[in-house]
Structure 1
Amino acid sequence: MLGLEYFKFADVWSPVFLAVMLLITAGYLVLTGPLNEKFGQGKPVSAGKKVLFVLGMGVLYMAQGGPVELLGHMMFSFHMISMALSYLVAPPLLMLGLPEWIWRGISSFLGKGPLRRLKFLTHPVVAAVVFNGLFSFYHLPVVHDYVMLHFGIHRLYYIVLFIAAVLMWWTLVKPLPAHGDAQGLKKMGFIFLNMVLLTPACGLIIFAPETLYATYSDPVIWSKAMGYCIPGDTSMLLDRFGGPEFFGYLEPRIDQQVGGILMKFIQEIIFASMLAYVFFQWYRQENREEEDEQLPDDLKLNQI
């Protein structure tokens, strides 16, 4: 399907990466299960949190080590799906899945070392600008093609981008309520800011009059970039398939436009849903406070 049948099992499913993800998931289940009473002060971790974390790990694996990762090296539209899953879907699921005591341990560890000087990165505006700036910078054609061909930088950039995504989601997810002070209109403004900041990069991709990325249009560069997913000499891909167009269900420029639209559409769906949720929460809170103010003093005392 979509050309995956031409590749080996190891190329499609990345067994080493899968093993690492399974080990991390198993470690999480042990910490939140048998060892939770020891480290979590007896407060049980809900099944819902565990499901969210496991789901987040599954999404991250599919995007960075499963079929979506391989397809993302052959079609730009799948590359954008991989990016959306990796940085807009997986982080909040993982963050919501971690119990508070784990977050407090992480916060305490980071607060004692030199990294405490980077606390300013958790500021909502800074986090939004950093994440969207890194994402947009990565999709400049010259930067994207360079990163795709240099695998060490590729891995490092993706890790940094994931950390930036976690910082960006921090204000919305609030793993530690005491550390998150954005409420109501401020939080809605933060969501809107994120929606706006990603628009220029997506617009550049969607409305470009020609293909921007040699990785998806130049067969030689494409074959070299495929070395990230396939071990050994990837020049044989040229003899076997000719280039990425063998797998493309769309003409390269159209595929590029579809990728930009998919990224913006997924982002809009996620953040619009968050915006609606925050608005109704804020609206209910405001109405509750107004009702409390209108209550007679004797009723207020009775409520207390």
Structure 2
Amino acid sequence: MWIDNGVSGAVVLGELLRTWSLPLVPLFSLSAALILYLRGWRMVRVTRERELPTWRALCFVSGLISLWVALASPIDALDDYLLAAHMMQHFILMSISPPLIVLGAPVVPLLRGLPRVLIRRCLQPLFRADWPRAVMHAVAHPVFAWVAMNVAYLGWHVPAAFELTFRNEWIHDCEHVCFFATSLGFWWVVLAPWPAHARWPRWAMIPYLLSADILNTVLSATLAFSGRVLYPSYAAAPRICFLSPLKDQVAAGAEMWVLNSLVFLIPAILIAAKGLSPRFLAAPSTPGSIAREVAHR
């Protein structure tokens, strides 16, 4: 059902179709990542079949597909008109693609998929240096990963920051990169694939996940129960469905509340019940362990 909010449905539909295009940068980037991963995965499985079973490759591919859906499907075109669509895009970028990609144990396959000369001349000297290890050690720490993800999540949903993404496409892209990159770190701590070593005991992942869900609940409840439209751009956007701007915001808040809570709570419950596979319960990898795996080439 189309509602004419000063603009005819045909005009809005035409604008929607016009903005739905094929983004070349994600296309080439994801295609390159897929090729490198599958090439490296096939090579590593010669000696590491146990560490890289088929299901890990399927997870990685599914993560790339979901990332493509978030960036290049009609969801991306709808996000200028519906907050619910925008939040679905954020949900995929933060809670679907990152854990799937992490479950693919991507680091060693991606590195092994690179040309041999690039690894030997560029990456191995980098892995031997002290400062990359120090940086990676800090970035991979659970506290840093938790803070980075939640600051990005809450910060970009502050109305002033959120409105900036409507005014500048580069800022909008930066928002997406922040969501995806910080969520990769967050889920790396939780799911931590091979190669890895423990940084925190596994029981610590329960408050790690539950505290993130508390912040998600605060933001979601704010959207659902504020009683007013928090983002002016959606109040002014043409209506392309039966939802008013306020009802659209309530739907977006409920969507975030339910979906994100499920993503946080299910792993916490499984960890508490000791139901996760030990391969999922390893800690983040270090540059030294990665370098040793690459050296096997």
- The bucket for the TM-score relative to the shorter chain is 0.7 to 0.9
Q: Could you tell me which amino acid in structure 1 is paired with residue 40 of structure 2? A: L
Distance 2:244 2:63 in 1: 32
- Corresponding residue for 2:260? 267
Does residue 1:135 correspond to 2:142, yes or no? no
Distance 1:89 1:111, change over 3 A: farther
Q: 1:31 to 1:282 in 2, by over 3 A?
A: closer
Q: Unmatched 5+ residue regions in structure 2?
A: 3-8, 113-118, 279-297
1:95-138 Cα offsets, whole Å, 9 max, x none, are: 11135634888998578475533632322233212211111111
1:27 alignment partner AA: L
Deviations 1:29-67 (A, max 9, x none): 22222xx15xx6632442211111111111111112211
Whether 1:152 and 2:170 are equivalent positions in the alignment is: yes
Offset, 1:82: 0.7
Distance 1:152 1:114 in 2: 30
- Return the alpha-carbon distance in structure 1 between the equivalents of residues 177 and 99 of structure 2: 16
> For the aligned residues, what is the CA RMSD?
3.2
3-state SS of paired residue (2:273): helix
Q: Is the 8 A contact 2:36 2:109 kept in 1?
A: no
1:217 to 194, 216, 235: 235
8 Å Cα contact 1:52-1:94 kept in structure 2: yes
CA contact (8 A) 2:38 2:57 kept: yes
Q: Which residue of 1 aligns with 2:283?
A: none
Q: Confirm or deny that 1:279 pairs with 2:272.
A: yes
2:40 paired with 1:22: no
Aligned to 2:221: 203
Count of aligned positions? 256
Q: Is the 8 A contact 1:128 1:193 kept in 2?
A: no
CA distance in 1, matches of 2:19, 2:96: 24
Which structure would you say has the larger RCO, counting Cα contacts within 8 Å and 6 or more residues apart? 2
TM-score normalised by structure 2 residue count:
0.75
8 Å CA contact 2:225–2:250 kept in 1: the answer is yes
Q: CA deviation at 1:215?
A: 2.0
What is the rounded CA distance, in whole Å, between the counterparts of 1:260 and 1:71 in structure 2? 17
| Match among 228, 240, 244 for residue 238 of structure 2 | 244
TM-score by length of 1: 0.73
Code of the aligned partner of 1:28: Y
The structural deviation recorded for 1:169 is: 0.9
Larger Rg: 1
Identity %: 21
Cα distance between partner residues in 2 of 1:47 and 1:206:
41
Checking the alignment, whether the CA contact within 8 Å between 1:100 and 1:175 is kept in structure 2 is no
Per mean C-alpha deviation after superposition, the further-off stretch among 185-194 and 169-178 is 169-178
2:56 alignment partner, SS class: helix
